[in-house]
Structure 1
Amino acid sequence: MNESIDRLLVLYTGGTIGMQQSAAGLMPASGFETRMREQQAGEPGPLPNWTFQELQPLLDSADMQPRHWLEMARTIREAATQGRCDAVLLLHGTDTLAYSAAALSFLLLDLEVPVLLTGAMLPAGSEGSDAWPNLFGAMRALQAGRVKGVRLFFNGVLLHGARVSKLRSDAFDAFAEAPRKRSAAVVSERPPVLLPQQPAEVVVLPLYPGVGAAQVRALVASGAQALLLECYGSGTGPAGDADFVEALRTAHGQGVVLAAISQCPGGHVDFGVYATGSGLRDAGLISGGGMTREAALGKLFALLCAGLDQHQVEHWFCRDLCGEMAD
């Protein structure tokens, strides 16, 4: 258990939780700190002491980009290392909340300060909104010492930051953890500290009937350093397409990291089950096991940003670093 929180940093990035109506529709709005303090006056304690910081510009999370992950990680790390906080509550829009939670799980892998993300399906102040229950529920989870690492709090449930996905857009229980079928092997090696040194370009390629070499070559030509293939079932794909396989093999030979996850929400990559899986493995793909898209994308991004080479990225991608592969 973590100790009681004395200095909480509330980091506000935008999102539905603090949005207000405009002529064009709901938009992120400043002034949320004042609204929080007014609401807290009627909330039962105990709640931690907190300071408030806005990241500018405030974003609808549909506009969130990998560079914003780096900005959030840098802001959180600076506040923690300077002793300005012993916990962080990050307010974020729901559309890409799971992606940010996963990316921060790896970008802040070495950070001892707990980081909890939350948001809302309806803006604070709207009738029946989940905003204040999510926000103050998250504060209470931190105050009670229930949070370790990067986690997400939503609809009264504490969720693993690198195992969660948004499954619904029309209900308060919008987020769920990926199912866990077995525990991942414990990593005996000390994982690297993933301090960003350079930008990274990771591209997701869902497999579908008709995908081929042209798509692979176009993505590599666009500057992709890693291709995350969302394969069928247990890690299969069109291994009978010689041009597709050769495009993958060529990309790998050029230094592009090739990783595979399953399209199935409860899927797990095991290349050895089918010949169409082992054919992809032999072309250079590595297995993401049962990782979610959000976790695999964030993990590849963090590993590449840290300046690791292809071999090092492949080595660490296949190892469980924070519970992301426990399925």
Structure 2
Amino acid sequence: MGAVKNLLVLYTGGTIGMLQTPAGLAPAGGFDARMRDHLAQRNDAPTLQWTLRELNPLIDSANMQQANWLAMRDAIIEAVEHDGHDGVLVLHGTDTLAYSAATLSFLLLGLQVPVLLTGSMLPAGAPDSDAWDNLVGALRQFEQGLGNGVQLYFHGRLLHGCRASKLRSEAFDAFTVMERHREGERAAQIPASLDYRQVRQAVKLAVLPVFPGLCADYLRGLFDAGVQGLLLECYGSGTGPSDDQALLDALHGARQSGVMIVAISQCPEGAVVFDTYAAGSKLRDTGLVSGGGMTREAALGKMFALLGAGLDVEAAERWFALDLCGERA
């Protein structure tokens, strides 16, 4: 929990550094100079040493892809292991900020430095922007001392990296940690196969909410497209159509063919407890894995980290059921 002495600021794009273009706001380079100019004008600016690196290309976070997550992971590891940085601040757009925070939590398991993500709802320099408050507030967290692992800082709040969600599309307090029931056995240790040094590869994943009218044909379309992992957002405590045998058969057949299928609750404050209702038990019996009270962001990021490490579906399910970094417990 000591103060960070040599911080990397990893600028990925996003609203915080956007400038106006004829087509609208777009990510812009040169944020290093803008950040230094602003801090030089503040009497209360944090005094820690920092270096800014821009990822290429800079992106609007609405365009976030798995390749961008892997590029962030690689840049963070290089900064720590080769450049001697003892902390990393990631500047990121808000649309997928919670997804990236959760995913990096699993991609960086075992990395012994603090990683903090922040962004803003308005660009730096815009009237009444929250950008500099969020950025300076994040710097102060490093100055005061942060524990290792991935966290998110926004609007004066420090949030768990794989528990946060974006709740509001316009308000400055856009992010929160929902009160979801969490219960899970903590993994005794992180295996080498899931350590941050483990190379990852892209994975075909899909997220599908259960809704009235969901039928087997929709599921077969996903599975026929080569989906390796499906995150199924169920009703309430993990229920869904239990009287549609074709749908149940489609889920069971996909699991038998090696597709990982995870169930979470689509309720903002909910958790999967399959045995509460018969409708949940029937879904479980097709081969679904319970995500407990995990958020969509955490469940998707964890599936990517497990399957992307090359684990087969049985091994991935075993590790998914365990708490790796506070996502389930």
TM-score calculated relative to the size of structure 1: 0.97
Q: What is the aligned partner in structure 1 of residue 246 from structure 2?
A: 243
Q: Does 1:308 align with 2:311?
A: yes
Cα RMSD of the aligned pairs, angstroms, is 1.2
1:260-275 matches, cutoff 5 A: 260-275=263-278
| 1:190 positional shift | 3.7
Q: What is the aligned partner in structure 2 of residue 282 from structure 1?
A: 285
| 1:198 positional shift | 2.5
Equivalent residue pairs, number: 325
Question: What CA distance in whole angstroms lies between the structure 1 residues aligned with 2:315 and 2:217?
Answer: 28
Q: What is the aligned partner in structure 1 of residue 208 from structure 2?
A: 205
Q: What is the aligned partner in structure 2 of residue 88 from structure 1?
A: 88
Q: What is the aligned partner in structure 2 of residue 116 from structure 1?
A: 116
| 1:45 positional shift | 4.1
TM-score calculated relative to the size of structure 2: 0.96
In 2 relative to 1, CA 224–182 (structure 1 residues): closer, same or farther, beyond 3 Å?
closer
Question: What CA distance in whole angstroms lies between the structure 1 residues aligned with 2:312 and 2:258?
Answer: 8
1:97-136 matches, cutoff 5 A: 97-136=97-136
Q: What is the aligned partner in structure 2 of residue 161 from structure 1?
A: 161
Match of 1:152, SS?
Answer: strand
In 2 relative to 1, CA 175–208 (structure 1 residues): closer, same or farther, beyond 3 Å?
same
Of all paired residues, the percent bearing the same amino acid is 57
Task: Judge conservation of contact 1:17–1:123 (CA < 8 Å) in 2.
Answer: yes
Task: Judge conservation of contact 1:167–1:175 (CA < 8 Å) in 2.
Answer: yes
Question: What CA distance in whole angstroms lies between the structure 1 residues aligned with 2:141 and 2:40?
Answer: 19
Question: What CA distance in whole angstroms lies between the structure 1 residues aligned with 2:45 and 2:124?
Answer: 20
Task: Judge conservation of contact 1:196–1:302 (CA < 8 Å) in 2.
Answer: no
Q: What is the aligned partner in structure 2 of residue 41 from structure 1?
A: 40
Question: What CA distance in whole angstroms lies between the structure 1 residues aligned with 2:50 and 2:298?
Answer: 29
Q: Does 1:30 align with 2:33?
A: no
List alignment gaps of at least 5 residues for structure 1. none
Question: What CA distance in whole angstroms lies between the structure 1 residues aligned with 2:46 and 2:54?
Answer: 24
Of the structure 1 ranges 194-203 and 44-53, higher mean CA displacement relative to structure 2 is found in 194-203
| 1:78 positional shift | 1.4
| 1:142 positional shift | 1.1
In 2 relative to 1, CA 281–151 (structure 1 residues): closer, same or farther, beyond 3 Å?
same
Task: Judge conservation of contact 1:141–1:147 (CA < 8 Å) in 2.
Answer: no
| 1:164 positional shift | 0.4
Task: Judge conservation of contact 2:12–2:54 (CA < 8 Å) in 1.
Answer: yes
**Aligned residue identity for 2:304:** F
Match of 1:205, SS?
Answer: strand
Question: What CA distance in whole angstroms lies between the structure 2 residues aligned with 1:312 and 1:303?
Answer: 9
Q: Does 1:325 align with 2:324?
A: no
Question: What CA distance in whole angstroms lies between the structure 1 residues aligned with 2:127 and 2:59?
Answer: 23
